[in-house]
Chains A and B, each alone.
Chain A
């Protein structure tokens, strides 16, 4: 997503300019040098291109002899792009012409592709102008949350991602549709907030004893036994009727049309003397009663149900098993609790008292919690360490909104982790167990009771938007006199506009709106909400405006700075403290600004920054691009996936909190994991229930981004690893040497399709054509270094490949297995023999990593793509951070100190 600034070798050497600017705080006002194709390629260009595309010949009406190597305009860039495209596609030079030497061509393409990236960036440079920015989708949601104290679903808005960071004002569009969406989402937030306000004092609590399930399953077992016995008698009676000699002809006729006994019995009516299923108590309510009798004969999962009832603690709680019957009929798979419909939206706590069964394997001691057992996601996975005799209580915080309005979305569930993530996966696990023990999955978890409590908001601070109104909010409250209403609207708008009071005329119109809404028959409460929703769709709320003249770039005011800072580190508006410091101007003092930066980073709202920034910086959207092949990686279930994703964020959040060195992301002797992931990695030592630091054993491959399951998972397709994806990711995100975007129109390598080859053999093919080699010679060796991690991020020493047969199924006869040797030589770089050696090479390049991190951070913070003019600022940031051993907060402090952050 982010294409870092190109290495300066693709720029005209302007070292003098650069050096003189180093360390200075002012941005370079000198005209920036333009990207250029390195001069060393002139010979190849002359020999292989110019001979046909010159002034006289102009083959294809294209001439390049006058094409400058320095790219200064869109026109020149387009010509070079055309050359790059034609060479990548293999069209040029034509087959019957002299071909350049392979390596020289690969080098040419390598440099040209990078030059083009630099040129696009150069030509697209906004010259330091930061475009006024609309709140992006995340910020909009957070801003409503901070104003009104409610979280609403904003997913119907465009995601604002796609080109660059979602903070880049130039790419944040507005449309009529969106404007209306803002108004209706604002209305939704107001409804929620007013409802929350009305119910602020309400406390509710319910207690569910899980053994309530026991009589249900007892009754079902009794029914199954009885029904089977009745079904057997009915079958016997039908068989007897069928055996009568006088029925022989009819029976023979029937047998021809049906495949088996079950289907034969469905036709009982045609057999004279056969009794009806209903006379044996089978009533299928309008359908063929025989279906019910046939089904009862099988008494599906009866043995599993009986196994359940033999467990020692069914009198005191419920075990978590597998799905047997349709869940509406019987549900031994999960414990579900409905939150009563009459309970209002608000903050809830769900408690569960649970234990593990004797002798069950530790890998099965994890409990999934979520909403909507049928199709809802897992919200949290927790390890259960208590036993049935000594159970433990685990708490889950939960927010219920007005959106939780139907049975599904009001039903919470507890299930064994991974037991039934999907029907396919659940059935797979179940049949494995049946194969193993003849019955079904052994019971590993037990629940004593579940408690659901709505926590009153009383005592908590009233959200600033509601506090600002300070008028009665009930729908049937008496209408306010105009002056009071006007004052309330003014206070609310000022709060919503981050401290900027609204203009008089605007207020007039708001009051008019309220009045006309009342005249239309709306109750005061509704008229008020309608009017407020217009404020929430007004530009002063939706845009972070920093008025400035065109002539000169000028410093931000303290208020503007406070908004820039809080949207940088919280993705949310400035709080009272920041606003006060902006008002008295103290925020402009460097030491105050630094202290506030630290305070914001210490606040839980900084999680928004970590999530949004890391998600975009590291390209985490790929994490959701595909499903894992669960047959191959059964342990990478939904709960593990959730924790694996969270590890990336939790690690960086931890490192920010403790101001660790950025180097820790390259290699560290610790990881930040929860119990789920510790179990997945085979580590011990997690004390609490959340993510925490755990020291690694000395020989561990974990510690740092390259050992994270999420990063490794993204470098594959959920089934097989992709050394190319992984290599490109490392170049992009870690080594700050991004390969140019995958070129269009490169002929595909089809020669090896269907062949059974090792990964190394397959990758070697990339070296044959210069078009491929120009990028892959850098990418592939890196991907190769990570081959000891499988597609779900587990360590492995072997890999195998099977050809796919004509039906699309793997053919075991072709299976080839090999031992992984993660040894390779980096392009124009050192050799390594295994992953640890490779990791050390990467670790030694922390400067490059810091550079990429700084670029991403600055771009995210100021909301515009970077250009050459930003070189001095970047150098400065890295310089300051290096002075503090690359401490993470130092980068952020340096960005906040930088002149760019203070300028509009």
Chain B
């Protein structure tokens, strides 16, 4: 049954790919007419998975730095793109000490214990730093996709997506392909006048709850006020979104360049479709900053693997079926990523360049393998940030992962002074 489903979806995905018109015929035209950009916009994508990778077979030989390295078994499916991505070895988040947290601090580099009086603290994630700038001109400032399971089984750690806001609070994400699809492409056929009335009504709703929040605030102590501030921030976020909606009123959402996903997709098909949706989101310029917190448990199920995810990451003591599971997981993830890169290369921007040429994409995890949090698996691709591609880049041991994020941000034109625990740029990454 599985094979048939896989095949059908494969066909559908590839038809979708073939059917993709070039950007100018879609939502992009509107953008072009509004601002007539000289060059296609820059974009930033982060993809992360729980429970790390297979240490022995995922990394290229660390003693073989440079362009002449031999592709490793775990990256084999990516071989056709070998000149277009780099592996970076030696990065870590030095404050990370939770062996099951693959994503919580991946983009933030925060010290969980930095705040006296709290047992959990986080800070802004690199994608949100970019979204503050890149998000101004698109319908969605950023898109968070979250395919991860809840709780400790996910290998991602606490969080609602990869994104953390400016106060270090978790940002929610779209859960499955269907939800993401509707978020991006659901068309509102309501007449414009009515839409305006509805917007006004939504604002009145905000005013009403704000009224209630203000009276609640009276008499609260400092900590509680800080807590209630999240609610106020929530109101502000909706308000910002409504203003955005208002700006975009009468501008129909970009036509979806792919059919509505079936409900209930899980694992490999889910990831594949999420990648399609990400391509579609960029192609229609609905957003320029995207993150995806990927599922592991359902991926294994879809590969007919019975080993539990956490067990799999502890393959070292028994090898056997756990190692086999871990390696098959690596292959599946690499295959999916290779397919994603195919599409990024196949999709053209208005000026004839490829989506691939204008974005920066980082793929990895805070966990290397088992509970190891050093040499975080890191793959960088895309031509948007001027990163050196085609190399096995070995940086000095224990370089902050945030240095890599900072380098990406700078490459995209965001002149942040620092990010997280960064100590500077990584010049080896720059082409």
CB distance from B247 to the nearest CB of A (A): 17
**Partner pick for B223 among A131, A176, A177, A537, CB 8 A cutoff:** A131
Q: Majority SS of interface residues in chain A?
A: loop
Size of A's binding interface in residues, CB under 8 A: 88
**Partner pick for B208 among A158, A506, A545, CB 8 A cutoff:** A506
In the bound assembly, the distance between CA atoms of A865 and B118 in angstroms comes to: 9
A residues 118-149 near B (Cβ < 8 Å) are 120-121, 123-127, 129, 131-132, 134
Residues of B near A753 (CB, < 8 A) are 316-320, 323
Does B113 make an interface contact (CB < 8 A)? yes
Residues of A near B223 (CB, < 8 A) are 126, 129, 131-132, 170
**Partner pick for A178 among B198, B200, B234, CB 8 A cutoff:** B234
A154-183 vs B, CB cutoff 8 Å, 1 = contact: the mask equals 001011011110000111011111111001
B residues 158-177 near A (Cβ < 8 Å) are 158, 160, 169-172, 175
Given A162-B158, A520-B198: A539 and B228 interface contact (C-beta under 8 Å): yes
Query: Which of B171, B201, B209, B370 is most buried by chain A, counting CB atoms within 10 A of its CB?
Result: B209
Does A276 make an interface contact (CB < 8 A)? no
Does B13 make an interface contact (CB < 8 A)? no
Does A81 make an interface contact (CB < 8 A)? yes
Given A539-B209, A745-B374: A752 and B153 interface contact (C-beta under 8 Å): no
Contact present for B197 and A741 (CB under 8 Å): no
Does B216 make an interface contact (CB < 8 A)? yes
Residues of A near B157 (CB, < 8 A) are 162
Does B182 make an interface contact (CB < 8 A)? no
Contact present for A627 and B306 (CB under 8 Å): yes
Does B396 make an interface contact (CB < 8 A)? no
Contact present for B151 and A159 (CB under 8 Å): yes
Residues of B near A762 (CB, < 8 A) are 317
Residues of B near A161 (CB, < 8 A) are 150-151
Does A626 make an interface contact (CB < 8 A)? yes
B74-100 vs A, CB cutoff 8 Å, 1 = contact: the mask equals 000000000000000000000111110
Does B4 make an interface contact (CB < 8 A)? no
B200 to A, closest residue via Cβ: A516
User: Which segment of B59-67, B235-243, B341-349 sits at the interface?
Assistant: B235-243
Contact present for A538 and B219 (CB under 8 Å): no
Does A16 make an interface contact (CB < 8 A)? no
Contact present for A126 and B118 (CB under 8 Å): yes
CB distance from B168 to the nearest CB of A (A): 10
Does A517 make an interface contact (CB < 8 A)? yes
Contact present for B96 and A163 (CB under 8 Å): no
B contact residues, range: 35 or more
In the bound assembly, the distance between CA atoms of A401 and B223 in angstroms comes to: 40
Contact present for B170 and A173 (CB under 8 Å): yes
Contact present for B208 and A120 (CB under 8 Å): no
**Partner pick for B321 among A510, A550, A626, A808, CB 8 A cutoff:** A808
Contact present for B230 and A174 (CB under 8 Å): yes
B216-251 vs A, CB cutoff 8 Å, 1 = contact: the mask equals 101111111001101101111110010000000000
B318-330 vs A, CB cutoff 8 Å, 1 = contact: the mask equals 1111011000000
In the bound assembly, the distance between CA atoms of A120 and B209 in angstroms comes to: 37
CB distance from A636 to the nearest CB of B (A): 15
Contact present for A158 and B160 (CB under 8 Å): yes
Does B205 make an interface contact (CB < 8 A)? yes
Given A538-B208, A753-B316, A754-B319: A506 and B215 interface contact (C-beta under 8 Å): yes
Residues of A near B374 (CB, < 8 A) are 89, 744-745
In the bound assembly, the distance between CA atoms of A89 and B152 in angstroms comes to: 24
Residues of A near B230 (CB, < 8 A) are 173-175
B21-46 vs A, CB cutoff 8 Å, 1 = contact: the mask equals 00000000000000000000000000
CB distance from B117 to the nearest CB of A (A): 6
B residues 372-393 near A (Cβ < 8 Å) are 372-374
CB distance from A165 to the nearest CB of B (A): 12
Residues of A near B227 (CB, < 8 A) are 131-132, 134, 169-170, 543
Given A163-B119, A808-B320: A175 and B208 interface contact (C-beta under 8 Å): no
Residues of B near A162 (CB, < 8 A) are 151-152, 157-158
CB distance from A5 to the nearest CB of B (A): 13
CB distance from A724 to the nearest CB of B (A): 10
A841-853 vs B, CB cutoff 8 Å, 1 = contact: the mask equals 0000000000000
CB distance from B324 to the nearest CB of A (A): 4
Does B308 make an interface contact (CB < 8 A)? yes
CB distance from B208 to the nearest CB of A (A): 4
A550 to B, closest residue via Cβ: B221
In the bound assembly, the distance between CA atoms of A550 and B221 in angstroms comes to: 5
Does B415 make an interface contact (CB < 8 A)? no
CB distance from A714 to the nearest CB of B (A): 12
CB distance from A646 to the nearest CB of B (A): 20
Contact present for B237 and A718 (CB under 8 Å): no
CB distance from B176 to the nearest CB of A (A): 11
Does A244 make an interface contact (CB < 8 A)? no
A161 to B, closest residue via Cβ: B151
Contact present for A124 and B198 (CB under 8 Å): no
Does A94 make an interface contact (CB < 8 A)? no
Residues of A near B175 (CB, < 8 A) are 156
Residues of A near B194 (CB, < 8 A) are 520
B208 to A, closest residue via Cβ: A509
Contact present for B151 and A621 (CB under 8 Å): yes
In the bound assembly, the distance between CA atoms of A502 and B214 in angstroms comes to: 12
Does B259 make an interface contact (CB < 8 A)? no
CB distance from A767 to the nearest CB of B (A): 15
Residues of B near A516 (CB, < 8 A) are 197, 200-201, 204
Residues of B near A176 (CB, < 8 A) are 233-238, 241
CB distance from A170 to the nearest CB of B (A): 7
In the bound assembly, the distance between CA atoms of A540 and B323 in angstroms comes to: 52
Does B418 make an interface contact (CB < 8 A)? no
Contact present for B371 and A538 (CB under 8 Å): no
B292-320 vs A, CB cutoff 8 Å, 1 = contact: the mask equals 00000000000000111011001011111
Residues of B near A537 (CB, < 8 A) are 209
CB distance from A91 to the nearest CB of B (A): 10
B368 to A, closest residue via Cβ: A745
Contact present for A85 and B97 (CB under 8 Å): yes
B residues 187-207 near A (Cβ < 8 Å) are 194, 197-198, 200-201, 204-205, 207
Contact present for A745 and B316 (CB under 8 Å): no
CB distance from A223 to the nearest CB of B (A): 26
A residues 543-568 near B (Cβ < 8 Å) are 543, 545-550
Does A15 make an interface contact (CB < 8 A)? no
Residues of A near B152 (CB, < 8 A) are 1, 162, 621-622
CB distance from B257 to the nearest CB of A (A): 25
Contact present for A126 and B113 (CB under 8 Å): no
Does B3 make an interface contact (CB < 8 A)? no
Does B120 make an interface contact (CB < 8 A)? yes
Given A126-B118, A506-B211, A537-B209: A743 and B220 interface contact (C-beta under 8 Å): no
Does A824 make an interface contact (CB < 8 A)? no
**Partner pick for A502 among B95, B212, B220, B241, CB 8 A cutoff:** B212
Contact present for B114 and A121 (CB under 8 Å): no
In the bound assembly, the distance between CA atoms of A808 and B308 in angstroms comes to: 15
If A81-B97, A125-B117, A129-B221 are given as contacts, then 6 extra A-B residue pairs at C-beta distance below 8 Å, sorted by A number, are: A176-B237, A177-B171, A179-B234, A509-B204, A542-B231, A543-B231
Instruction: Identify 25 residue pairs between A and B in the complex whose beta-carbon atoms are under 8 Å apart, listed by A's number.
Output: A1-B152, A121-B119, A158-B172, A159-B151, A162-B151, A162-B158, A170-B118, A173-B169, A177-B172, A179-B209, A503-B211, A506-B215, A513-B205, A534-B205, A534-B208, A539-B228, A545-B224, A550-B222, A625-B308, A717-B307, A741-B99, A744-B97, A749-B316, A750-B319, A754-B320
In the complex, the 7 A-B pairs of residues with the closest C-beta atoms, listed nearest first: A804-B320, A176-B237, A547-B219, A748-B316, A626-B308, A132-B224, A124-B119
Which residues on A are within 8 Å of B, measured CB to CB? 1, 74, 77-78, 81, 85, 89, 120-121, 123-127, 129, 131-132, 134, 156, 158-159, 161-164, 169-171, 173-180, 183, 502-503, 505-506, 509-510, 512-513, 516-517, 520, 534, 537-540, 542-543, 545-550, 621-622, 624-627, 629, 717-719, 741-746, 748-750, 752-754, 762, 803-804, 808, 865
